[in-house]
Amino acid sequence: MSLLRLLRILVGTNAHPYVMPQRERIGVLMNSTAETTLTPPHANTPEMGELSPYQAGPVLTQATLAHNGIALEWLDGQKTTLPLLWLRDHCACPACRHPQTRERLYLPLEPITEPPSVALLDGHLHLQWQDGHVSAFHSGWLYQRRPEAELTSAVPNAKPWVDNFTPEHISHSDFLTPLGEKAWLTAMLRDGLALITDGPLVEEEVSRLAERIGPLRATNFGARFDVRSKPNPNNAAYTAVGLPLHIDLPNWRQPPDIQLLYCLQNGASGGESLFADGARVVEALRQESPEALTILSETPIDFRFQDETHDISMRAPVITLDSAGNLVEMRLNNWIRDALHLPVEQMDAWYSAYALLWKLFHSEAHQLEFTLRPGQMVAFDNRRVLHGRREFDPNSGARHLQGTYLDRDMLASRLRVLARNV
């Protein structure tokens, strides 16, 4: 069989894995160094089983066998060498990746001991393995996935607040458009705090907005809760007292990620909302006292909520950092901090570190304060951005917020989906 005939077969069988008979298989594909020009995608372009877009080029100009891999070069001069097992593992044909679910079917447990035959077709890579299986790879997909490429994502990295930080405000009507929702989600995941304004004064609007993004995260307070002063409260939020900065539910194994609070009424005197960025405060603590940061990030303590029907507790540090020293989560909530169970010789140092962290969070330099207006919704990263409120007078007017929680994964997922087309 000629190389041209085989390439025609490969082009015509993108929808099904192609396996040649053993007698025709040996040596019919050759190492290719043919140069090609950039061509737009067409029916012969390999399908990589991705819903997220990847770039159309640059095309591959060289593909040659290297030690246990394939050396590739693109039209712009970028080069890489990809291991044979990596390439076999990432075959996107229907036999290796489910055509409907796009989930991997191939199991990479055995090393590739025999090199495949290699060819370029319209600048895309085609490999025929020794068992006859054919894999086709889009040049732009390989370019985006090569080890040297910088990983990109529609989901932004967290960005600590700076002086005079102002959270993003997106109108309710704009949020209901793909472009507005994408802008709001980007700000929310980047800054840990964002608002929706000019919304309707109707109950359950917080649930409707949240469910555009994902399912509500239920807790022992329900999937959707009301925040207002009430008799016989089982949580400080249901009183009129001022609330120091805190996160919600540090007594859970995984506290809720994102909290949404929708203002329906706020005619009471006082009750201003307070926020502070844990990512910024952790850096301030690192500068002022690295020892305090070490104590608070390496010493687990107990948190506990208890009422007549629930008793939920968790032991964890106040601050959790990743391997690079970046904030993963805060667990600061003084009123549900349980008895401090530490060796006696560690207690004074822990209390000193805790006091310093408290001081930094409650300094004016790190606090953001504003009054939430009816029709506004504030959302914040509960495990990063601490929230609180000033005391209010329940006799001076009505104050009613409705709230819920979402998992951060749902925000990131929604943003990736929107980014495909917006």
* Span 217-244, pLDDT tens digits: 999 999 999 998 655 655 666 678 899 9
Of the candidate CATH numbers 3.30.2020.30, 3.30.70.2660, 3.90.580.10, 3.90.1150.10, the domain formed by 3-145 belongs to 3.30.2020.30
Q: Is 182 exposed, middle or buried (0-12, 13-18, 19+ CB in 10 A)?
A: buried
CA distances from residue 359 to 152, 160, 264, 343, 366 in whole angstroms, order as listed: 37, 18, 32, 25, 10
Give yes or no for residue 23 having a pLDDT over 90.
no
Rounded to an integer, the average pLDDT of 64-77 is 96
- The rounded mean pLDDT for the chain is 89
Predicted local confidence at residue 288, as pLDDT: 98
CATH 3.60.130.10 domain position(s) in the chain = 168-419
Mean of pLDDT values over 267-291: 97
pLDDT for position 22? 29
- Mean pLDDT, rounded, for 295-320: 98
pLDDT over threshold 80, residue 8 = no
**Quick one: which of 148, 5, 139, 125 has its CA closest to 65?**
125
For the cut 60, the answer to whether the pLDDT of residue 182 exceeds it is yes
Q: Please report which confidence band the pLDDT of residue 34 belongs to, taking 50, 70 and 90 as the band edges.
A: very low
pLDDT tens-digit map of 118-144: 999 999 999 999 999 999 999 999 999
What is the structure's pLDDT at 231?
54
Domain at 168-419: CATH architecture: 4-Layer Sandwich (3.60)
Is the pLDDT confidence value at 250 over 90? yes
Per-residue pLDDT, 237: 66
Mean pLDDT, range 153-177, rounded to an integer: 97
As given in the structure block, the two tokens for residue 205 are 């609007």
Residue 12 has pLDDT above 80, yes or no: no
Query: Could you tell me the CA-to-CA distances from 393 to 44, 242, 272, 396, 397 in Å, in that order?
Result: 70, 10, 12, 6, 8
- Rounded CA-CA distance 53/420 in Å is 6
Which residues 6+ apart lie within 8 Å of 228 measured at CB? 238, 398, 399, 400, 401
Q: What is the pLDDT of residue 26?
A: 26
- pLDDT (mean) for 294-304: 99
Judge whether residue 11 has pLDDT over 60.
no
Write down the pLDDT at residue 422: 87
Residue range 86-99: mean pLDDT, rounded:
96
Specify the pLDDT at position 37.
30
Nearest C-alpha neighbor of 255 from the set 196, 333, 327: 333
Q: What are phi and psi of 134, to 5 degrees?
A: -115, 130
Percent of the chain scored above 70 by pLDDT?
87
- Does 376 have pLDDT greater than 60? yes
- pLDDT above 50: residue 43: no
Q: Is it the case that residue 115 has pLDDT exceeding 50?
A: yes
pLDDT score of 93 more than 50: yes
pLDDT of amino acid 24: 29
**124 or 12: which carries more pLDDT confidence?**
124
| CATH 3.30.2020.30-classified regions of the chain | 3-145
pLDDT tens digits for range 340-367: 999 999 999 999 999 999 999 999 999 9
Distances (CA, A) of 29 to 9, 129, 134: 12, 10, 11
Q: What pLDDT is recorded for position 40?
A: 36
Residue 49 confidence (pLDDT): 87
CB within 8 A of 354, min separation 6: which ones? Answer: 296, 318
